[in-house]
């Protein structure tokens, strides 16, 4: 069996591990268009905050590809000839495959705001971007970050640590709109303001003027030596579209990570997979998911039939000394909200018909793992038990017994 | 390899935690020395309910969520299948904490970095929690979850 993987990042590493768990002999080829091997993207903000300290940002050891007997070709995939099962590279080379995995990841969205085409308006997505910004800020004092998602916030934190004046412009009413609720965001806003980071929520950038000025819709004008556009990412599904595969938000796959072509699989930020809370397929561009999907795709490409049971959006991030873990439903899902807080810690959970569907934990990572798992695996715990958990004080030792019983049962069935 | 708990035998005495703490951070199993300076941190914690208790420890999963989700490469698997953490590489993002169904990997209250069970891989013999359990409620078994 000959396996070809397009992309050399997290999902690809997962796929290699998955394939090798089933097939020790088959040939594996990785087509990697990025200069560097598999590094973990979330670490680029750490690199930017302290470039001398974070030099090693590899996801796997340097020997990983060799140890798994993988050939890496540094090139970009240009086209897929599905009828002949051949991949055509940008250098003209043709590679035949039995099983193909598309793990092409995502690209940062650059909103066409007037003036956004100037060279001091940058994305912050690859290590190359971070290295470039690290050069650019040598003579910079002030920066505007557009978007307060995880990428925007981590970029803002890194630049703040480097001594720059940072303004964050967020069009929603609060930062981290995907992770936090308005109530929990207040907790973070206070902290960021205290640190001297300027948060401008509920406003948008209207024009970026060549005189290094950023004009907002409200009329406010900010001066900026650098603008970072961090409004989100979009699946890099161009190759799949060109090859006639079904693509909606991202590349459409079945629960075995197979695309509309039986010999072609997709995983990671380029694919859309099942969100178990909404019941709908969705692009969840997150590192743990990229590995899980890659791994399952690899197992299935190697001859196993394992279903992806789906997942939920989840994040854990540290911002200026505070940790935020969150997982589960989007803000518009219905369910009872329960909140617990104490000085610097906060936990908000959402329960619907005896199932936990969401949580936000600020400076409370201790309980996050079981809560994530309860949501993802839809573990039945009586709503009253969750209430008691919140009343006695959320701690690992107070997780409802029903959760642990179910965990042990799943473990005994080998389905955990 | 992993340590499994047998709740029916567990007395909830907590000796596992004490010997676990004393086996790490350079104390080499010397309980008196380890506890002289305060409360050293056990890697695994007891969970107690009114009717039962057990040591909530690492399953060293074959497909380990913590290892797969680690953004810094700090969590690793050694040649014996033991999932361990290179604490110096931990960036304290706590993604591993968020994805562990057992709530096993936890931040150290001192350094903020993650600490977890390493099956006492730096010392000879079976893990300290197993060898010091007075009622044989802990067993070292082959295979991960």
CA dist., res. A158 & res. A154, Å (int): 6
What pLDDT shows up at residue B91?
A: 94
User: Mind listing the pLDDT tens digit for each residue in B94-116?
Assistant: 999 999 999 999 999 889 999 99
Query: Which CATH number goes with the domain that contains B115?
Result: 3.30.70.20
Q: What ipTM describes this predicted complex?
A: 0.94
**Residue A9 dihedral angles phi and psi, to the nearest 5°:** -110, -140
**pLDDT at res. A415:** 54
Rounded Cα distance, B60 and A183, in Å: 37
Query: Are the C-beta atoms of residues B3 and B142 closer than 8 Å to each other?
Result: no
For chain B, how are helix, strand and coil distributed in percent, rounded to 5? 20, 20, 60
Q: Which residues of A touch B49 (CB under 8 A)?
A: 401
- A332-343: average pLDDT: 90
Q: How many domains does chain B have?
A: 1
Q: Is B44 in CB contact (< 8 Å) with chain A?
A: no
DSSP letter assigned to residue A258: B
Tally of CA atoms within 13 A in the half-sphere of A341 that contains its CB: 13
B143 interaction partners in chain A (CB closer than 8 Å): none
pLDDT of B50 reads 77
* The dihedral sign for the CA sequence A238, A241, A247, A252: negative
CATH H-level, domain A2-107+233-301: superfamily: FAD/NAD(P)-binding domain (3.50.50.60)
How far apart, in whole angstroms, are the C-alpha atoms of residue A175 and residue B97?
Answer: 23
DSSP class of A261? S
SS3 for A215?
A: strand
Listed by number, the residues of chain A in 284-303 with a beta carbon closer than 8 Å to a beta carbon of chain B are 287-288, 291-292, 295
Helix (H, G, I), strand (E, B) or coil at B99: helix
Predicted confidence band at A414 (pLDDT cuts at 50, 70, 90)? low
- pLDDT at residue number A60: 87
Q: Can you point out the beta strands (E) in A280-342?
A: 281-282, 314-319, 322-328, 336-342
- Decide if A325 contacts B94 (C-beta within 8 A): yes
Q: What distance in Å separates the CA atoms of residue B124 and residue A92, rounded to the nearest whole number?
A: 56
What's the Cα-to-Cα distance from A56 to each of A44, A220, B51, rounded to whole Å?
A: 11, 41, 48
pTM for the full model? 0.92
**Which tens digits make up the pLDDT trace of B42-67?**
999 999 887 889 999 999 998 899 99
Question: B78 at the A interface (CB within 8 A)?
Answer: no
List CB contacts (< 8 A) between B105 and chain A: 369
Q: Which CATH superfamily is domain A321-412 in?
A: FAD/NAD-linked reductase, C-terminal dimerisation domain (3.30.390.30)
Burial of A334 (0-12, 13-18, 19+ CB in 10 A): exposed
Residues B20/B129, Cβ–Cβ less than 8 Å: yes
Contact at CB, A411 and B105, closer than 8 angstroms:
no
A residues 366..395 contacting B (CB < 8 A): 366-370, 372-373, 377
Instruction: Write out the two tokens for B8.
Output: 């029916």
More confident call, A156 vs A410: A156
Domain ranges of chain A: 2-107+233-301, 121-229, 321-412
User: What span, in angstroms and rounded, lies between the C-alpha atoms of B78 and B88?
Assistant: 17
- pLDDT surpassing 90 at residue A389: yes
Nearest to residue A102, comparing CAs of A33, A47, A153? A33
**A231: its two tokens:** 């409004």
Across residues B114-123, what is the average pLDDT? 94
Q: How many residues does chain A have?
A: 416
Between helix A401-412 and helix A368-376 the angle, nearest 10°, is 60
CA A147 to chain centre: 15
Range A175-193 average pLDDT:
90
> Smallest CA–CA separation between B88 and chain A, in Å?
11
Residues of B in contact with A58 (CB under 8 A): 73
**By mean pLDDT, which of A59-63, A91-95, A350-354 is the weakest?**
A59-63
For A88, A166, A336, A360, B66, the CA distances from A330, given in Å and listed in that order, are 40, 28, 14, 12, 24
Confidence of residue A396 (pLDDT cuts 50, 70, 90): very high
Q: Mention every residue, 6+ apart, whose C-beta is less than 8 A from residue B125.
A: B131
Q: Is the predicted pLDDT of residue A416 greater than 70, yes or no?
A: no
Q: Is the domain covering A121-229 a CATH 3.40.50.1820 domain? A: no
Q: Which pLDDT value is given to residue B110?
A: 87
The mean per-residue pLDDT over the stretch A136-160 comes to: 96
Domain housing B46: 2-141
Residue A9: what pLDDT? 93
Among partner residues B45, B71, B98, which is closest to A327 by beta-carbon distance?
B98
Contacts of A59 in chain B (CB under 8 A): 73
**Exposure class string for A24-54: b at 16+ Cβ within 10 A, else e:** eebebbbbbbbeebbbbbbbbbbbbbeeeeb
Same CATH fold assignment for domains A121-229 and A321-412: no
Rounded to an integer, what distance in angstroms lies between the CA atom of residue A123 and that of residue A230?
6
DSSP assigned state of B139 = E
Who contacts A286 (Cβ-Cβ below 8 Å, separation ≥6)? A313, A314, A315
Whether chain A has a CB inside 8 Å of the CB on B97: the answer is: yes
Q: Please check whether residue B28 is in contact with residue B123, taking contact to mean a CB–CB distance below 8 angstroms.
A: yes
């Amino acid at each position: 069996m000959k396996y070809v993987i397009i992309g050399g990042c997290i999902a690809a590493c997962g796929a290699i591990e998955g394939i090798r768990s089933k097939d020790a002999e088959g040939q594996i080829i990785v087509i990697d268009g990025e200069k560097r091997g598999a590094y973990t993207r979330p670490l680029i903000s750490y690199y930017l905050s302290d470039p001398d300290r974070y030099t090693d940002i590899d996801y796997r050891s340097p020997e990983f590809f060799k140890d798994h007997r993988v050939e890496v070709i540094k090139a970009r995939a240009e086209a897929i000839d599905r009828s002949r099962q051949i991949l055509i590279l940008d250098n003209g080379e043709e590679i035949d495959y039995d099983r193909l995995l598309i793990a092409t990841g995502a690209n940062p969205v650059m909103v066409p705001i007037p003036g956004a085409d100037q060279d001091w308006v940058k994305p912050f997505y690859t290590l190359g971007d971070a290295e470039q910004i690290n050069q650019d800020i040598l003579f910079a004092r002030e920066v505007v970050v557009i978007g307060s998602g995880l990428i925007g916030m981590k970029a803002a934190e890194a630049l703040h640590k480097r001594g720059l004046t940072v303004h964050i412009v967020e069009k929603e009413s609060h930062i981290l709109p995907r992770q936090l609720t308005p109530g929990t965001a207040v907790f973070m806003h206070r902290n960021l303001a205290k640190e001297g980071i300027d948060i401008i929520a509920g406003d948008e950038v209207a024009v970026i003027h060549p005189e290094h000025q950023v004009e907002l819709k409200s009329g406010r004008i900010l001066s900026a030596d650098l603008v970072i556009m961090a409004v989100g990412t979009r699946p890099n599904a161009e190759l799949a579209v060109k090859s006639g595969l079904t693509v909606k938000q991202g590349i459409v796959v079945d629960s075995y990570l197979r695309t509309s072509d039986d010999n072609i699989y997709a995983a990671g930020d380029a694919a859309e997979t099942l969100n178990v809370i909404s019941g709908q397929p969705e692009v969840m561009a997150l590192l743990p998911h990229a590995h899980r999907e890659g791994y399952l795709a690899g197992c299935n490409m190697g001859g196993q039939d394992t279903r992806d049971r789906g997942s939920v959006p989840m994040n854990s991030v540290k911002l200026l000394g505070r940790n935020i873990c969150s997982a589960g439903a989007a803000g518009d899902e219905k369910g009872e909200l329960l909140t617990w807080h104490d000085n610097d810690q906060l936990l908000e959970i959402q329960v619907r018909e005896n199932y936990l569907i969401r949580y936000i934990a600020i400076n409370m990572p201790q309980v996050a793992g079981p809560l994530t798992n309860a949501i993802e695996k839809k573990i039945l715990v009586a709503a009253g038990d969750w209430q008691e958990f919140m009343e006695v004080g959320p701690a690992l030792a107070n997780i409802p017994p029903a959760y642990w019983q179910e965990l042990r049962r799943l473990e005994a069935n080998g389905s955990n | 390899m992993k340590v499994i708990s047998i709740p029916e035998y567990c007395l909830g005495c907590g000796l596992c935690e004490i010997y676990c703490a004393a086996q790490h951070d350079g104390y080499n199993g010397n309980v008196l020395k380890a506890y002289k300076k305060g409360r050293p941190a056990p890697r695994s914690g007891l969970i107690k309910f009114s009717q039962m208790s057990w040591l909530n420890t690492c399953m060293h999963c074959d497909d380990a969520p913590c290892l797969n989700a680690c953004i810094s490469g700090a969590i690793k698997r050694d040649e014996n299948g033991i999932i361990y953490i290179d604490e110096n590489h931990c960036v304290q993002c706590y993604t591993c904490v968020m994805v562990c169904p057992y709530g096993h990997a936890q931040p150290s209250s001192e350094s903020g970095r993650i600490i977890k069970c390493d099956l006492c891989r730096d010392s000879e013999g079976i893990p300290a929690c197993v060898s010091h359990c007075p009622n044989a409620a802990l067993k070292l078994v082959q295979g991960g979850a």
